[in-house]
A and B are shown apart, each in its own frame.
Chain A
Amino acid sequence: AQTVTQSQPEMSVQEAETVTLSCTYDTSESDYYLFWYKQPPSRQMILVIRQEAYKQQNATENRFSVNFQKAAKSFSLKISDSQLGDAAMYFCAYRSARRLNTNAGKSTFGDGTTLTVKP
């Protein structure tokens, strides 16, 4: 079974600084998708960034980038120039790319990291 581990329950960062959130996962599959979601106090889940396992290039979205290490099964999120609005709970998620049989479409989340941004 796939598992996702976020080893940092809480992180804090000074405004305008850079912070990295860790995520590791366990799978026997070779093709899958990885996501980072943000959940502010409103509870709404918001996509931050996504990565396809077959792509070697790390995904980037403005101030957000990932360090995807497939062999190490690691998928960390770097937030540059942190802003007060980045404060939220961040979830790492894994989804199988299988379209048939066991685990097709199955999607698993980590327990989350609460990020505090200090002014």
Chain B
Amino acid sequence: NAGVTQTPKFRILKIGQSMTLQCAQDMNHNYMYWYRQDPGMGLKLIYYSVGAGITDKGEVPNGYNVSRSTTEDFPLRLELAAPSQTSVYFCASSYVNTEAFFGQGTRLTVV
């Protein structure tokens, strides 16, 4: 099992550009999450999903969009990138009653 795979690992965007962060898991988890982590800070929930076709906003959803068309994939879309979106992004997945399994993270810089 690969676990949770995030791509890319690093990316530099210019202000106003858009991009999609990819996340895939092969553990058949029904729950999936996107978090952002600013330097020295905790994880802030952006969006989450409890199953294919179901998504919900977390604490900091503005400027982001998600979709969940399959159990395995949960891409995060950034529209009109802003410097405030410079952060490390983590995707995670879990069953209802288990711990979350995290990807390696994507370091995004918006310049």
B contact residues around A104 at 8 Å (CB): 50
Pick from B42, B49, B56, B94: contact of A109, CB under 8 Å: B42
| Range for the number of chain B residues in contact with chain A | 20 to 34
A contact residues around B43 at 8 Å (CB): 91, 109
B contact residues around A97 at 8 Å (CB): 96-97
B contact residues around A52 at 8 Å (CB): 97
**CB pair A105 B97 closer than 8 Å:** no
CA distance A109 to B44 in the complex (A): 7
Which one of A14-22, A43-51, A80-88 contacts B?
A43-51
B contact residues around A40 at 8 Å (CB): none
CA distance A99 to B51 in the complex (A): 11
**Nearest-CB distance from B67 to chain A (Å)?**
17
Q: Is the interface of B mostly helix, strand, loop or mixed?
A: strand
Q: How many A residues, CB 8 Å from partner?
A: 24
Determine if B74 is an interface residue (Cβ-Cβ < 8 Å).
Answer: no
**Nearest-CB distance from A52 to chain B (Å)?**
7
**Nearest-CB distance from A5 to chain B (Å)?**
10
Task: Knowing A43-B88, A43-B104, say if A109 contacts B96 (CB, 8 Å).
Answer: no
**CB pair A110 B42 closer than 8 Å:** yes
**Contact flags B36-59 to A (C-beta < 8 A → 1, else 0):** 000001111100111000001011
| B residues lining the A interface (CB < 8 Å) | 31, 33, 35, 41-45, 48-50, 56, 58-59, 88, 90, 92, 94, 96-97, 99-100, 102, 104-105
17 pairs, A vs B, C-beta closer than 8 Å? A33-B97, A35-B100, A37-B99, A43-B105, A45-B102, A52-B97, A97-B97, A99-B96, A105-B48, A105-B49, A105-B50, A106-B45, A106-B56, A107-B48, A108-B59, A109-B42, A112-B41
